[in-house]
Homo-oligomer: A and B are copies of this chain.
Amino acid sequence: MSVKNAFYAQSGGVTAVINASAAGVIETARLHPEQIGTVYAGHNGIIGALTEDLIDTSQEPDENIAALRHTPSGAFGSCRYKLKSLEANRAEYERLIEVFRAHNIGYFFYNGGGDSADTCLKISQLAETMGYPIQAIHVPKTVDNDLPITDCCPGFGSVAKYVATSIREAGFDVASMAATSTKVFILEVMGRHAGWITAACGLASEAEDQPPHILLFPEVKFDQQAFLARVQQCVETYGYCVIGVSEGIKNTEGKFLSETGLTDAFGHAQLGGVAPTIANLVKDKLGYKYHWAVADYLQRAARHIASKVDVEQAYALGQAAVRMALDGKNAVMPAIRRLQDSPYQWDIIEAPLKDVANVEKFMPPEFITEDGFHITDACRRYLSPLIQGEDYPPFRNGLPDYVRLNNVTVERKLATFKI
């Protein structure tokens, strides 16, 4: 078998563990020089391939690649860029082939979510559509946990652990202040379409009186009256109320709540942030003193409180992607299969990319309580294994010691290409 080089790139919103997948890919490829030559990383995802902006990962010392395992974010740069269809933009595909050919690339690893799976699928078809033989393997990643087939998506478990930890801690805080100060606390979390991250907040509560008391899912239309009644009931029963809210909740007319609330002094539309909107509603209708937090990027970058299970899965999926490539596979994605809830047992199976691309996995209705404000035991059984174990990064000078790669660029061989 002739030696071919590999292309690896990161796509979409980054996570606390996408670099662990990168480490899995690169370290495994390095073990097989008889089949895989150099792993070239795309600078800023697929854009790096289009613009021939390639990073030579063989120039990176082993310890730097190993350190990717504990470094959040996308070490090679990510991108939000979706390839159009072959019909709509044939020039892009021709350019990709030109770059792949110039650098003898026969393996394509794309690390991303649903959109990236679609890109990866298109690349996998280049042999039949454009006569360029390449094996394309998708490595799953998304904090939103919305990919099908796989038990979960790397990145999600760590966000879940972060939000559950954070809302538990804030809950303890509010409980101590409620007698004379803050009575309602609201934490806004990510997940515009699927409520997985909001659901994870619920793990912090192990009894009805424990915070968070209310979760607002994007899957459940926001019912202002029922919500306010529940807030009041919590404050009257427990002395305070802690709320986890998805950035993507919608009102009964189907409009994002974050878009209904705020205008600035210049009359511009809102600035994002459903938490302040909810807070104001509570203040306005019930008069309670409130505090709110918006975790935003903090939640998906929080490698310091990553889930050990998540880190292990992210790395293992990177490894498995390379093994599948070595086995001659194409148009597949390694996926997590759950064998047992507790203790959690899982292995890795092969998912056909055509069943993954552009399919979104939502929360099943049976994971949400009947009143729409919390998670069920079934949901806990699903979520709990994903946040198990700690995997602390090394610290230097009191702070996490994350690696910045040298990212040595490969000399260009081709004319420039405008995207």
The answer, yes or no, to whether A176 is at the interface (CB within 8 Å) is yes
State the CA gap A209–B141 with chains docked (Å): 28
Is the pair A280, B293 in contact by a Cβ cutoff of 8 Å?
Answer: no
Given A166-B302, A262-B264, CB of A392 within 8 Å of CB of B392: yes
Is the pair A400, B165 in contact by a Cβ cutoff of 8 Å?
Answer: yes
A280 partner, pick from B44, B73, B264, B388, beta carbons under 8 A: B264
Residues of B within 8 A of A13 (CB): 177
Given A297-B293, A389-B398, CB of A176 within 8 Å of CB of B265: no
Given A262-B271, A296-B293, A387-B398, CB of A78 within 8 Å of CB of B277: no
State the CA gap A84–B303 with chains docked (Å): 47
Is the pair A179, B264 in contact by a Cβ cutoff of 8 Å?
Answer: no
State the CA gap A298–B179 with chains docked (Å): 19
State the CA gap A20–B45 with chains docked (Å): 47
The answer, yes or no, to whether A305 is at the interface (CB within 8 Å) is yes
Closest chain B CB from A342 CB (angstroms): 10
State the CA gap A263–B269 with chains docked (Å): 11
Is the pair A294, B297 in contact by a Cβ cutoff of 8 Å?
Answer: no
Binds B, one of A167-175, A225-233, A328-336: A167-175
A294 partner, pick from B165, B263, B293, B301, beta carbons under 8 A: B293
Is the pair B298, A176 in contact by a Cβ cutoff of 8 Å?
Answer: no
User: What secondary structure prevails in chain A residues at the interface with B?
Assistant: mixed
The answer, yes or no, to whether A417 is at the interface (CB within 8 Å) is no
State the CA gap A180–B169 with chains docked (Å): 35
The answer, yes or no, to whether A75 is at the interface (CB within 8 Å) is yes
The answer, yes or no, to whether A47 is at the interface (CB within 8 Å) is yes
Residues of B within 8 A of A222 (CB): none
Residues of B within 8 A of A170 (CB): 296-298, 301
Chain A residues in the interface with B (C-beta under 8 A): 10, 13-14, 16, 44-45, 47, 71-81, 161, 164-166, 168-170, 172-177, 179-182, 185, 187, 203-204, 206, 260-266, 268, 271-273, 275-277, 279-280, 284, 291-298, 300-305, 307, 384, 387-390, 392, 395, 397-400, 402
Contacts beyond the supplied A273-B292, A276-B276: 14 A-B pairs with Cβ under 8 Å: A44-B180, A73-B169, A73-B173, A74-B176, A76-B176, A78-B177, A203-B398, A262-B262, A263-B265, A266-B284, A293-B298, A298-B298, A384-B398, A389-B398
